[in-house]
Amino acid sequence: MSDGVVLSVSQLNRYVKSIIEQDMNLQTVFVEGEISNFTNHYKTGHYYMTIKDEFSSIKAVMFKSANMRLKFMPENSMSVIIRGRVAVFERDGQYQLYIDDMQPDGTGALSLAFEQLKNKLAKEGLFDSEKKKTVPAYPMRVGVVTSPTGAAIRDIINVISRRFPLTELILCPVAVQGDYAASQIKAAIELFNERKAADVLIVGRGGGSVEELWAFNEEIVARAVAASEIPIISAVGHETDFTICDFVADLRAPTPSAAAELAVPDSFQQKEMLISAYRRMNSAVADRIGTQRAMLELRKAALERLSPKNYIDNLCVRCDRAVMAMDAAVKQNIALKQKDFSSLCAKLDAMSPLKILARGYGVASKEGKIISDINSVKKGDKINVMLSGGNIGCEVTEVKVN
| Local confidence pLDDT in tens for the 402 residues of the chain | 556 678 888 888 888 888 888 888 888 888 888 888 999 988 888 999 998 888 898 999 999 999 888 888 888 888 888 888 998 888 888 889 999 988 887 666 777 788 888 888 999 999 998 999 999 999 999 999 999 998 899 999 999 999 999 899 999 999 999 889 999 999 999 999 999 999 999 999 988 888 888 899 999 999 999 999 999 999 998 777 789 999 999 999 999 999 999 999 988 888 888 889 989 999 999 999 999 999 998 888 887 777 777 778 788 888 888 889 898 888 899 988 888 888 888 787 777 666 776 776 778 888 888 888 888 888 888 888 888 788 888 888 888 877
Q: Is residue 63 part of a domain?
A: yes
Q: Is residue 368 part of a domain?
A: yes
Domain containing residue 62: CATH number: 2.40.50.140
Q: Is residue 338 part of a domain?
A: no
Q: Is residue 318 part of a domain?
A: no
Q: Is residue 161 part of a domain?
A: yes
Domain match, 97 and 25 both: yes
Residues with Cβ < 8 Å from 49, sequence gap 6 or more? 35, 36, 37, 38, 39, 59, 60, 61, 62, 74
Domain match, 84 and 36 both: yes
CA–CA dist 298, 304 (Å, integer): 10
Q: Which residue range is the domain that position 288 belongs to?
A: 280-313
Q: Is residue 323 part of a domain?
A: no
Q: What is the number of domains present in the chain?
A: 4
Residue pair 238/220 in contact by the 8 Å Cβ criterion: no
Domain match, 251 and 286 both: no
Q: Is residue 220 part of a domain?
A: yes
At 172, phi and psi to the nearest 5? Answer: -110, 100
Instruction: Supply the pLDDT for residue 2.
Output: 55
Domain match, 362 and 306 both: no
Domain match, 257 and 146 both: yes
Number of residues assigned to the chain: 402
Listed in order, strand segments (DSSP E) in 164-267 are 168-173, 200-205, 232-236, 251-252
CA–CA dist 378, 367 (Å, integer): 13
Domain match, 175 and 72 both: no
Domain match, 121 and 197 both: yes
Domain match, 150 and 53 both: no
Domain match, 195 and 306 both: no
Instruction: Supply the pLDDT for residue 102.
Output: 85
Closest CA to 47 of 6, 1, 102, 86: 102
pTM to 2 decimal places? 0.55
Domain match, 251 and 122 both: yes
Residue pair 121/177 in contact by the 8 Å Cβ criterion: no
Domain containing residue 146: CATH number: 3.40.50.261
CA–CA dist 80, 104 (Å, integer): 4
Domain match, 290 and 195 both: no
Instruction: Supply the pLDDT for residue 263.
Output: 95
Report the greatest alpha carbon distance in the chain.
Answer: 232
Domain match, 261 and 369 both: no
Listed in order, strand segments (DSSP E) in 90-195 are 94-104, 141-146, 168-173
Q: Is residue 2 part of a domain?
A: no
Closest CA to 219 of 261, 252, 251, 186: 186
